[in-house]
């Protein structure tokens, strides 16, 4: 008898350890009582040109400092070749937007070469075609230009030639194919003949870009964004909107029109962090506001531009525009709305049409300021809103709550946002994974009558490791998933959310963690990316309640959950997070519409190693898998893996 009892106890203990709570909690889901619609904008993207996200990233240009406008005009370029082959001079044409060009005097019978290193090298692919272009003018004599793509050993892996340059500035183009895949190729231009030739805007793009637009965006990187089916795209940042000082703030008008005329400026992340200095980080604006709007349209995201409100970064210079001198800043927003939505007969609408998009971009939201704080922000915001609301009642103007997730400044700004009746308030939180878990109930008691929440920048910051990607651990992503169930559960007050920042170049980053890492050839989705993607591609249309013992599941027994209906497909979508290091079980019980059909789909991200992360070029350690499960009765038992996010899609009766 004693032996029997002992073996029963052992059995109970061992199985219990393995399965966790074998019976599991019952999650009661009321499929009939819709709490609120889920906003189509619920899950979106935050893009900022940080970590070489634009130049050297998504903008597929391979030549760095293509128009010699960096403060060191030959940064990124190397002058090689024989002594006395000729002479190189930097000439300032006094043209306001693109002043400098290179003048080369080639000595008779000699060869003069210039080599461009690209953005930490150039990524090129065997069999791909490359589009080369250059602005040139032959002021004297006759020169031939040999163009060569070089591998890392200096051997030519693609080439072409241009000659018969005219005496007037003209664009010359040629295409050539590449014979070898290289992550760190370079471009050599060799001039021969005799005389003086002047050159500017030297450019090399892969022929194959996103939607094969000429001189467009890197296809693999945009594909990752499109795969997320984002509800919105916030651009161009971030602190880049504010600038280190007002002079270097983001000015959208300088980023549209002919690419040759877009005036380059220093990137504010150039020397922001002494431990990650990037003196060669500039904004060519090849990716400008037109391209951002086009990108939004391509990936089905609502555009959300954030504009400067007359304040430079308060962590840096804190420069302010006097209250009576804000007009040009307000005008920038009015003109942007015209650029995006105006008829082609208007000044800015015409520019959009001339650039290739006569139909409007359907802009509905504009952010005024980024991480501003204090009365100085509110004083300015009031002036902006007075004019903007009067002229554009159809646009939602988004306000901010500063860089911190709580505290005096945050409370002050929120109280002001309520008073100003701002429709959406931008919140930022870069915090530990533990903070994320604790804050899964953050919005449960938010005021339902006031402004809606835009969680505009957030990321769980785990410990740093050696690899660039190492901070994007599964632990951080899992904690974000837990918090995101809290965002979804409060979809009546949380209207938008975006992880930040979006991109990190493994060879040139300033800030980590980031959602997607890339090098010159490849890219990888982090565990955080897959969490975002699972939420975004399982957004649903209507929020329903999911309660355990009458309460939201927000950490009890290490579990988190939220539920919604997808009216279009007649499915119940349940997101479940188990942060315990052992498996767990949830019993889904539906009040109202019951499950229909024979099986449900589970999309699962699980990894027992919380420190796991994905590396560019390696098989992904943390990525979703799909499982089917039979529907056998009214109660659906979902086994949750240790440290996992599980999204169940259950067909329900119409
Ligand atoms: O996402 C990186 C930076 O974090 C953003 O530029 C800024 O808004 C925040 O401080």
Secondary structure in 3-state letters for 120-147: CEEEECCCCEEEEEEEEEEEEEEEEEEE
Q: Is the pLDDT of residue 352 over 70?
A: yes
The CA 367 to ligand 1 mean position distance, Å, reads: 15
The set of protein residues with a Cβ atom below 6 angstroms from ligand 1 is 48, 50, 237-239, 370-371, 403, 428, 457, 500-501, 511
Q: Which atom of ligand 1 is nearest to the CA of 457?
A: 1
Cα 570 to Cα 452: distance, rounded to the nearest angstrom: 27
Q: What is the mean pLDDT of the chain?
A: 95
Whose Cα sits closest to atom 7 in ligand 1?
238
pLDDT at 85: 83
Summarised one tens digit per residue, pLDDT across range 371-380 is 999 999 999 9
Q: Which atom of ligand 1 is nearest to the CA of 403?
A: 10
* In the block, residue with structure tokens 């249309």: 541
Q: Is the pLDDT of residue 130 over 90?
A: yes
The CA 20 to ligand 1 mean position distance, Å, reads: 40
Summarised one tens digit per residue, pLDDT across range 65-120 is 999 999 999 999 998 877 778 899 999 998 899 999 999 999 988 999 999 999 99
Q: Is the pLDDT of residue 4 over 60?
A: no
The CA 376 to ligand 1 mean position distance, Å, reads: 20
pLDDT at 465: 92
Cβ count near 540 (within 10 Å): 26
Q: Is the pLDDT of residue 437 over 80?
A: yes
Mean pLDDT of 615-627: 97
CB burial of residue 51 (10 Å; 0-12, 13-18, 19+): buried
- Residue whose C-alpha is closest to residue 417's, from 432, 433, 396: 396
Mutating to test ligand 1, I would choose from 235, 370, 402 the residue with most ligand atoms within 8 A of its C-beta, which is 370
Task: Provide the total of helices (H) and of strands (E) in the chain, helices listed first.
Answer: 10, 31
Mutating to test ligand 1, I would choose from 315, 367, 500 the residue with most ligand atoms within 8 A of its C-beta, which is 500
420 — phi, psi (to 5°)?
-80, -5
Summarised one tens digit per residue, pLDDT across range 198-236 is 999 999 999 999 999 999 999 999 999 999 999 999 999
DSSP string across 532-545: HHHHHTT--SEEEE
pLDDT at 294: 98
In this predicted model, which residue has the larger pLDDT, 598 or 12? 598
Q: Is the pLDDT of residue 289 over 90?
A: yes
Whose Cα sits closest to atom 9 in ligand 1?
238
Summarised one tens digit per residue, pLDDT across range 440-449 is 999 999 999 9
13-17, 360-364, 381-385, 488-492: least confidently modelled range? 13-17
Residue 263 · residue 285 · CB < 8 Å: yes
Whose Cα sits closest to atom 6 in ligand 1?
238
Strands across the sheet with 523-525, in order? 503-505, 516-518, 523-525
pLDDT at 301: 98
Cα 292 to Cα 286: distance, rounded to the nearest angstrom: 10
The CA 239 to ligand 1 mean position distance, Å, reads: 5
The CA 428 to ligand 1 mean position distance, Å, reads: 8
DSSP string across 385-426: HHHHHHH-TTSEEEEE--SSSSSHHHHHHHHHHHHHT-SEEE
Summarised one tens digit per residue, pLDDT across range 515-539 is 999 999 999 999 999 999 999 999 9
Q: Is the pLDDT of residue 340 over 80?
A: yes
Mutating to test ligand 1, I would choose from 501, 510, 515, 516 the residue with most ligand atoms within 8 A of its C-beta, which is 501
pLDDT at 654: 86
Is 371 a catalytic site residue? yes
Summarised one tens digit per residue, pLDDT across range 22-45 is 479 999 999 999 999 999 999 999
Cα 293 to Cα 47: distance, rounded to the nearest angstrom: 12
The CA 238 to ligand 1 mean position distance, Å, reads: 5
Q: Is the pLDDT of residue 167 over 50?
A: yes
Confidence band for 58, pLDDT divided at 50, 70 and 90: very high
Which is catalytic among the residues 48, 117, 198, 371? 371
Cα 400 to Cα 404: distance, rounded to the nearest angstrom: 10
The CA 429 to ligand 1 mean position distance, Å, reads: 10
pLDDT at 602: 98
Mutating to test ligand 1, I would choose from 52, 53, 239 the residue with most ligand atoms within 8 A of its C-beta, which is 239
Cα 176 to Cα 357: distance, rounded to the nearest angstrom: 30
Percentage of the chain beyond pLDDT 70 is 97
Q: Which atom of ligand 1 is nearest to the CA of 240?
A: 6
Q: Which atom of ligand 1 is nearest to the CA of 430?
A: 4
The CA 181 to ligand 1 mean position distance, Å, reads: 35
pLDDT at 471: 98
Whose Cα sits closest to atom 4 in ligand 1?
238
Q: Supply the DSSP symbol for 580.
A: S
pLDDT at 214: 96
3-state SS assignment for residue 108: strand
Q: For the chain, first and last CA: distance in Å?
A: 55
Q: Is the pLDDT of residue 567 over 60?
A: yes
Cα 451 to Cα 454: distance, rounded to the nearest angstrom: 9
pLDDT at 14: 35
Cα 470 to Cα 53: distance, rounded to the nearest angstrom: 18
Q: Is the pLDDT of residue 13 over 70?
A: no
pLDDT at 80: 83
Summarised one tens digit per residue, pLDDT across range 305-322 is 999 999 999 999 999 999
Whose Cα sits closest to atom 5 in ligand 1?
238
């Amino acid at each position: 008898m004693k032996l029997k009892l002992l073996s029963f106890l052992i059995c109970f203990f061992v199985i219990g350890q393995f399965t966790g709570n074998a019976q599991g909690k019952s999650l009661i889901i009321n499929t009939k009582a819709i709490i609120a619609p889920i906003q189509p904008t619920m899950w979106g993207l935050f893009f900022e040109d940080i970590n070489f996200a634009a130049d050297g990233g998504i903008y597929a240009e391979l030549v760095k400092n293509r128009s010699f406008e960096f403060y060191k005009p030959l940064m990124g370029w190397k002058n090689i070749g024989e002594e006395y082959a000729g002479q190189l001079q930097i000439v300032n044409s006094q043209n306001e937007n693109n002043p400098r060009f290179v003048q080369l005097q080639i000595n008779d019978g000699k060869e003069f070469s210039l080599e461009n290193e690209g953005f930490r090298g150039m990524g090129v692919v065997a069999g791909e075609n490359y589009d080369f272009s250059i602005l040139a003018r032959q002021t004297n004599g006759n020169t031939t230009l040999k163009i060569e793509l070089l591998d890392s050993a200096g051997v030519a892996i693609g080439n072409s030639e241009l000659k018969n340059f005219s005496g007037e500035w003209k664009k010359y183009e040629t295409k050539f194919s590449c014979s070898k895949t290289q992550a760190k190729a370079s471009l050599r231009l060799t001039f021969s003949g005799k005389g003086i030739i002047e050159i500017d805007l030297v450019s090399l793009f892969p022929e194959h870009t996103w939607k094969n637009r000429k001189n467009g965006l890197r296809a693999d990187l945009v594909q990752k964004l499109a795969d997320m089916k984002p509800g919105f795209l916030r651009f161009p940042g971030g602190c880049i909107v504010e600038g280190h000082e007002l002079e270097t703030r983001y000015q959208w008008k300088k980023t549209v029109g002919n690419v040759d005329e877009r005036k380059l400026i220093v990137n504010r992340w150039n020397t922001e962090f002494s431990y990650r200095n990037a003196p060669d980080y500039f904004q060519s604006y090849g990716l400008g506001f037109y391209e951002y709007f086009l990108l939004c349209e391509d990936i089905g995201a609502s555009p959300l531009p954030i504009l400067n409100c007359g304040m430079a970064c308060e962590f840096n210079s804190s420069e302010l525009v006097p209250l009576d001198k804000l007009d040009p800043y307000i005008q920038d927003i009015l003109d942007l709305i015209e650029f995006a939505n105006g008829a082609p007969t208007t000044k800015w609408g015409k520019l959009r049409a001339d650039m290739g998009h006569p139909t409007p971009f359907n802009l509905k939201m504009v952010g005024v300021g980024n991480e501003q704080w204090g009365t100085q922000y509110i004083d300015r915001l009031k002036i902006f809103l007075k004019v903007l609301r009067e002229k554009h009642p159809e646009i939602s103007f988004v306000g901010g709550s500063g860089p911190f997730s709580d505290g005096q400044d945050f409370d002050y700004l929120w109280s002001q946002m309520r008073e100003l009746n701002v429709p959406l308030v931008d919140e930022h939180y870069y915090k530990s994974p533990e903070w994320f878990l604790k804050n899964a109930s953050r919005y449960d008691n938010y005021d339902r009558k006031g402004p809606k929440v835009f969680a505009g920048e957030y990321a769980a910051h785990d410990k740093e490791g050696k690899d660039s990607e190492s901070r994007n651990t599964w632990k951080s992503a899992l904690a974000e998933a837990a918090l995101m169930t809290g965002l979804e559960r409060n979809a009546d007050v949380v209207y938008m959310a975006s992880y930040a920042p979006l991109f990190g170049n493994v060879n040139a980053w300033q800030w980590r963690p980031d959602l997607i890492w890339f090098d010159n050839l490849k890219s990888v989705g982090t565990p955080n990316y897959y969490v975002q993607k699972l939420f975004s591609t399982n957004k649903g249309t209507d929020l329903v309640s999911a309660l355990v013992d009458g309460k939201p599941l927000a950490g009890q027994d290490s579990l988190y959950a939220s539920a919604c209906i997808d009216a279009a497909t007649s499915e119940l979508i349940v997101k479940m997070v188990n942060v315990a290091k052992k498996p767990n079980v949830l019993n889904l019980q539906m009040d109202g519409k019951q499950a229909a059909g024979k099986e449900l789909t589970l999309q699962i991200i699980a990894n027992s190693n919380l420190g796991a992360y994905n590396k560019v070029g390696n098989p992904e350690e943390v990525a979703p898998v799909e499982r089917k499960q039979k529907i056998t009765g009214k109660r659906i038992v979902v086994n949750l893996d240790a440290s996992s996010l599980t999204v169940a899609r259950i067909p329900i009766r119409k």
